[in-house]
Amino acid sequence: MNNTFRRFILRRDEDETGVSGTGLVAYGVQYPDGIVVTRWNARIAQTCVWERLEDVVSVHGHNGKTKIEWID
């Protein structure tokens, strides 16, 4: 296991549900052990903890309409 934290944003091109909007929809960090935390960029923000990045993509990827953009 390395000691590197990786920051990212979730950017959505198209909001197929009409709920989350488009553009920068969430901030995130991936911890060295693979755990991911996301913080939604919304009026009512939510913080979520995920076991793996693939789970975030599975739930919020919207069939490729939401992309992970690594900051680090």
- CA trace torsion 6, 17, 24, 32 (10° rounding): -10
Q: Summarize pLDDT for 14-63 with one digit per residue, the tens.
A: 766 666 677 899 999 999 999 999 999 988 889 999 999 999 998 877 67
**CA dihedral sign, ordered 14, 10, 63, 16:** negative
Domain that holds residue 26: 6-70
> Are the C-beta atoms of 21 and 42 separated by less than 8 Å?
yes
State residue 21's pLDDT score.
76
pTM score: 0.83
Q: Summarize pLDDT for 53-68 with one digit per residue, the tens.
A: 999 998 877 677 789 9
Does 2 have pLDDT greater than 80?
Answer: no
What is the number of domains present in the chain? 1
Residue 1 lies in a domain: no
